Amino acid sequence: MKTLIANVLLFFSVAAFAVPVGAENIAVVLSSDASAYQEALEGFREVVRHWIVGVQTLRESPATWGNELKKLRSVIEPDLVFVIGTPALQAVAGEITNLPVVHAMVFNPFSAFSGPGKNVIGISMNPSAAQVVSLLRELDPKFRRVGIMADPSRTGPPFSQARSVFQKEGLQLVSKDIRAASDIGGALKSLENEMDVLWLWPDEKFLTDEILQRIFLFSFARRIPVLGLSERHTDMGALLSLSHGSAKDMGRQAGEAINSLLEGSRATVVSHLTPRQLKLTVNFKTARKLDIKIPDSVVNRADNVVKAPVYRDGDWWVFRIKTTNSSGREQIETHRVTFRNGEFESDDPSFLAGGDQPGTPSFLPFASVYLKDPQRQWLQFPLLTGKTWSFYYRRRNLVGKTYKGASALASAEVIGEAAQQIQTQAGKFKTIQINRTDTLNGVGHLTYFYSPQAKSVVKLSAEAITAVFPPDTRRQYELELIGYGNGGTMGKDIR
């Protein structure tokens, strides 16, 4: 065991080391029973080749952590401790200095406390500088100056590594020291004319909601995009964010690092690893405010976009449509649609016509049917919160003739994921809400709820106000998915 510890200490001076082969005992300490930590532990178990002799979940009170760890060590005498989450690292690194400690699911070990000891290695939850550079170059090659605000006492080696990577790649890292929240305003003002992008540095002290809101207001006012560290940052106003993509895979990474550490692998083991699976999220609303065009290549691989569905032969849907006229009279119709031989078929062709047949309401779409028709952009994939689009489409009158030179103008906006799951007769669905307005001899307002699971709109409400024949006539439409299936194997046809 002494040899193992000595080799670990040697590693931190030469960045690589070898340890005698032998089965070792590993103690695992979790910050809590949160699902993300459990996923990391599951991934760790999949790859580690040594004995897991104890798993300890910390209690909420930090005052008890010391006694919990002493009890753990006295009972199982581990050779290495694997910690999951920042609180676990804070507890273990402060108590255990003579054993190797490997961490995962830690936001930034160098900002979590005064800095880990020489016996600590692990995987950060944040992207590497090289990954950030690659994304910024793809976003806009003109972005050359990247601003950072950070407390120099809490940055650690990743900061100097980032500066080196940026310099090597021909980009400039412009940093301003901050030690308290009161320094944020002055740092932003001094960076204003020196940066093209602001990269949020992973330090919890300066990522509170109050500080973030201040940063995003600055971003909108000065039209300087912010690169965030989580999907929450994107939702709050960052143009885009890079964050860890899989807690389970971070557990695997930690297991692989421990295997190398304990088995004397000749491979180099580094003290600061970054996640190999990343999540990219994009905010279209922020892009519009900043007047920035996000390349399709970035949008198409973003994790918070809903991509176009892939239809398979035999997919089917059953819809119920209720129409209510201005006098309150209701009419209910049911339609079945099937995807066969690359085409959509319906028991009533007028249902798929969407206004191209006499008497059918042109603004009532079966949303997924018109993906291949350039005039039909009821849904324009990929769907992403804040995305907008407009389009014209031909209209026909009640005797089947096309209006001369007339098209209907439609505009749509993706509102975002619906606050609550949408319940229909076909089931409960997570959905994306899209609002649309049509204008031609009147106004049509529509609200779609699109489900990636069903590959279709599952609920739609529409109101039409007709300006002519006769004027000010209102009609309301409600569409609901009541059954769907994949080649007859998914869902239930309840008709």
Token pair listed for 342: 């690359």
Note the pLDDT of residue 358: 43
Same domain, 407 and 431: yes
Its sign, for the CA torsion 464, 469, 471, 475, is negative
Same domain, 66 and 112: yes
Within a domain: residue 427? yes
Domain that holds residue 351: 316-485
User: For residue 170, what are the CA distances in angstroms to 143, 219, 471?
Assistant: 11, 24, 65
- Please tell me what DSSP assigns to residue 204: G
Note the pLDDT of residue 47: 96
| Residue among 77, 71, 104, 109 nearest 93 (CA) | 109
Q: Rounded CA gap, 292 and 306, in Å? A: 21
CATH of the domain at 379: 2.40.360
CATH of the domain at 55: 3.40.50.2300
Within a domain: residue 458? yes
Q: List own/partner pairs for 58-63 with CB under 8 A and 24 or more apart.
A: 58/29, 58/30, 58/31, 58/32, 58/87, 58/88, 58/91, 60/32, 62/87, 62/90, 62/91
Q: How many domains does the chain have?
A: 3
Degrees to nearest 5, angle at CA 298 with 293 and 302? 120
Neighbouring residues of 365: CB distance < 8 A, sequence distance ≥ 6: 354, 376, 378, 446, 457, 460
- For residues 109-143, b (16+ Cβ closer than 10 Å) or e, as one string? bbbbeeebeebbbbbbbbbbbebbbebbeebbeeb
Same domain, 209 and 261: no
Residue pair 156/110 in contact by the 8 Å Cβ criterion? yes
Within a domain: residue 184? yes
Q: Tokens 């007709």 — which residue? A: 466
Same domain, 266 and 290: no
Within a domain: residue 491? no
Same domain, 258 and 290: no
Taking the CA atoms of the chain, what radius of gyration do you get in angstroms? 29
Within a domain: residue 307? no
Full pLDDT tens readout for the chain, 495 residues? 434 433 433 333 333 333 334 578 999 999 999 999 999 999 999 999 999 998 989 887 777 777 777 777 777 888 999 999 999 998 888 788 888 999 999 988 887 665 556 788 899 899 999 999 999 999 999 999 999 999 998 888 889 999 999 999 999 999 999 999 999 999 999 999 999 999 999 998 999 999 999 999 999 999 999 999 999 999 999 999 999 999 999 999 999 999 988 887 544 455 678 899 999 999 999 999 999 999 999 999 999 999 988 889 999 999 998 988 878 889 898 988 888 888 888 877 667 765 544 444 544 555 455 555 556 677 888 999 889 998 876 655 444 444 444 567 888 999 999 989 999 999 999 999 999 887 755 567 889 999 999 999 999 988 876 654 555 567 788 999 999 998 754 444 333
Q: Which helix (H) or strand (E) holds 457?
A: strand 456-466
Cis peptide before 452 (omega within 30 of 0): no
pTM of the model: 0.80
Q: Tokens 């002494």 — which residue? A: 2
Within a domain: residue 162? yes
**Kind of pairing between the strands at 226-228 and 240-244:** parallel
Same domain, 101 and 121: yes
Within a domain: residue 335? yes
Same domain, 106 and 189: no
Same domain, 104 and 79: yes
Note the pLDDT of residue 259: 92
Within a domain: residue 308? no
Same domain, 269 and 288: no
105 torsion bin: left (phi>0), alpha (psi -120 to 50), beta (else): left
Q: Rounded CA gap, 365 and 482, in Å? A: 16
User: For residue 346, what are the CA distances in angstroms to 343, 387, 455?
Assistant: 10, 30, 16
Same domain, 43 and 102: yes
Same domain, 157 and 291: yes
Same domain, 240 and 251: no
